[in-house]
Amino acid sequence: MQTSKNWFGLVGSAVPVIVCGGFLLYFNNVRGAFGGLLDSQLGPTMFGIGVFFVLFLGLFLYRLWKVAGGPAKASPSARADAAFESEQSDFDADAAFARYLARRGDTPPLHRPPPGSFGRKPG
């Protein structure tokens, strides 16, 4: 399914490249047919179409690179699921919590003011 999606995306991104390229060729032929009389009018049009052509060409080349790059790498969630399903795990949550409590030791509680001693007093 993913491969067909990639190929349809590649073909879909090739269509605007072909259309913009066709317009550039067409307007170039029109400019040549009029002997340069329409250069001032067709110049900005061809420049704008050329910008869109370059943008669509970049998108097409990116999609082509993705299709030619091979299968996608595993996502972080897929790697996490694989790690969760594996039988051998070196992590023991109870041991980690016990180490934390042992390192924490007997620290005295913080000296906090009693509730209601800060701010506006009701009354």
**Residue-level pLDDT at 43:** 86
Do the domain assignments include residue 24? yes
Residue 88 covered by a domain: no
Q: For residue 45, what are the domain limits?
A: 16-68
pLDDT of 88 reads: 61
Q: Which has more confidence, 76 or 87?
A: 76
Average pLDDT over residues 99-108: 78
pLDDT score of 35: 80
Instruction: Look at residue 73 and tell me if it is in a domain.
Output: no
DSSP the chain: -HHHHHHHHHHHHHHHHHHHHHHHHHHHHHHHHTTTTTHHHHHHHHHHHHHHHHHHHHHHHHHHHHHHT-SPPPPHHHHHHHHHH-S-----HHHHHHHHHHHH--PPPP--PPTTSSSPPP-
C-alpha span between 58 and 17 (Å, rounded): 9
- Does the pTM surpass 0.75? The reply is no
pLDDT digits (tens, 9 = 90+) for 11-65: 898 999 999 999 999 988 888 888 878 778 888 888 999 999 999 999 999 888 8
On whether residue 41 sits in a domain, the answer given is: yes
91 in a structural domain: no
pLDDT at 96 over 80: yes
Instruction: Round to whole Å and give the CA distance between 48 and 99.
Output: 66
Number of compact structural domains in the chain? 1
* pLDDT top residue among 28 and 70: 28
Q: Is residue 8 part of a domain?
A: no
Q: Answer whether residue 3 is part of any domain.
A: no
